[in-house]
Amino acid sequence: MSDLNTLRQSESADFFIEVLERLNGDYPGAAALFALLSEQADIAFIPVSVRKLSELLGVSVPFRTLFRSLLSLEELGLIESKCHPNTKTDYHVNVEALYALLAKPVAPGDVIPGITLLQNGVAQNGTINSDCSVCHFEPPTNSTSSAKFMVELLNRLGQDYLLCAVLFALLARQANVDFVKASRRELSVSLGARVSPAHVDRVLATLESIDLVERQVVSKMDVRYRVDRTALRTLLARPIAPAKVIPGLTPLPALQRISVAPAQGNSLETFAEGSDHG
């Protein structure tokens, strides 16, 4: 049973990261969609209040942010709503629109957070393995998938996509092994402009302030960074804030119904058919 739960959790992580990527790193939007699917909103309109969805997600998405995210998802055609005066609103996930979203090509980049394969990955017990290859869309092994790793980071770094993306980019350069040379522009370009150079600067400063990253200034044109292994292990060992629904970690039964589009294959990869997984 534990193996089955692990497999379902892995599918959940893959799905969440694919949605997050195509929503341009909009964690609240991806989380709101995930919460609705956890309530089986892919089957029919379900009566659920924004407050209940917020309670399901715990502290990960504040109430007001969730409300705005639901409006954005509706504008994108991903969900539909029916309002009843003085009662709960009914929500429904538009599965065809979801298929269309996940069929969109992933924006190019040398490093796509949660999708690009990581060498020198992070094992499930939180240790760094120099010979570990983190596999995407593979059955669970002793090493976690890139998607699962990204989800674990998000849940421990306040769901801050920019923070996690830059840390992921540094790990893709094997900065957990030694100091690596990387300017803010180089990191931004490697991420396919998912994080602007100005944001990279602020993110690096934040990562340094929480002791996850060390900076080494060799010269004005040569600045290097290293991810502190001990700090990363400690971060990954921290408990995740409890919630009934943790996006990307909570198994999502709805995936068994919607992971395969009509007349297509039989794996979650079908969702992202035609996308570039780096």
pLDDT digits 0-9 by tens, 242-270: 999 999 999 999 998 876 444 333 334 44
pLDDT digits 0-9 by tens, 14-48: 999 999 999 999 999 999 999 999 999 999 999 99
Query: Nearest 5°: phi and psi at 99?
Result: -60, -45
Structure tokens at 225: 């960074």
Residue 10 inside a domain? The answer is yes
CA 22/CA 17 separation, integer angstroms: 9
**Residues ≥6 apart with Cβ < 8 Å to 239:** none
**What domain range includes position 54?**
2-106+241-272
pLDDT at 187 over 90: yes
Residue 176 inside a domain? The answer is no
Task: Name the domain count of the chain.
Answer: 1
Residue 169 inside a domain? The answer is no
CA 190/CA 173 separation, integer angstroms: 10
Nearest CA to 174 out of 231, 129, 234, 235 is that of: 129
Residue 265 inside a domain? The answer is yes
CB 114 within 8 Å of CB 17 = yes
CB 226 within 8 Å of CB 178 = yes
pLDDT at 143 over 50: no
Residue 8: band (very low, low, confident or very high) from pLDDT cuts 50, 70, 90: low
Taking the CA atoms of residue 237, residue 242, residue 243 and residue 247 in that order, the dihedral angle to the nearest 10 degrees is -10
Report residue 12 CA to chain centroid gap: 10
Report residue 105 CA to chain centroid gap: 17
